[in-house]
Amino acid sequence: MNEINDVRCMEHALELAKRASDAGEVPVGAVVVLDGQVIGEGWNRPISSHDPTAHAEIMALRQAADKVGNYRLVGAELYVTIEPCTMCAGAIVHARIARVVFGATEPKAGAVVSNGCVFDQTWVNHRPEYQGGVLAKECSEQISDFFRSRRAQKKRLKVTNGQIPDGTNSE
């Protein structure tokens, strides 16, 4: 795809990530595109679905595979707001995704460029192309804002429950 389409697809992924955030989930959104058409979309749902595999990428891949009637999504592109983790990178390889575009890197759990570099390993039987940094600032801000809000909420709860924010009791 060209740069304009990459931005449009990432904007769509950001909208999906907001759905996750609104539901109290870590805001990650993903879109699968084949021949210029969205065939799958997803957002993080592991908490609400009680499913540790319900990452945005997995949800989007499942929907896309169901739509085409095949687990192999040859020629498809995956857009995701945050660098995929090891589990999602493995699913991307198995789905034969042609290209992965992500927004922000994920230094702790990212497995494309931050840790492990799964797609570059010699033992991987399919190597998707990948590109990071599309709307990286917006993607990074969205997840940072979410965790900043979570920390502030925890701090307010501690104060409400009679604890001083440094963890000591007010009594």
Please, what sign has the CA dihedral across residues 96, 97, 100, 106? Answer: negative
pLDDT digits over 107-146, tens only? 999 999 999 999 999 999 999 999 999 999 999 999 999 9
Task: Name the token pair of 20.
Answer: 């996750």
pLDDT digits over 54-65, tens only? 999 999 999 999
Asked whether residue 165 is assigned to any structural domain, the reply reads: no
15 is catalytic: no
Asked whether residue 164 is assigned to any structural domain, the reply reads: no
Binding residue positions for Zn(2+) = 55, 85, 88
Looking at the structure of the chain, the number of domains it has is: 1
171 pLDDT higher than 70? no
Task: Name the token pair of 152.
Answer: 């502030």
Q: Residues 102, 80: contact at Cβ < 8 Å?
A: yes
Asked whether residue 168 is assigned to any structural domain, the reply reads: no
Of the residues 3, 11, 15, 57, only one is catalytic, namely: 57
Domain boundaries, position 17: 3-158
How many CB atoms within 10 Å of residue 9? 23
What is the rounded CA–CA span in Å between residue 112 and residue 126? Answer: 14
Which residue from 125, 63, 126, 81 is spatially nearest to 99, judged by alpha carbons?
126
Binding residue positions = 55, 85, 88
The CATH number of whichever domain residue 86 belongs to comes to 3.40.140.10
User: Once rounded to an integer, what is the mean pLDDT over residues 55-77?
Assistant: 98
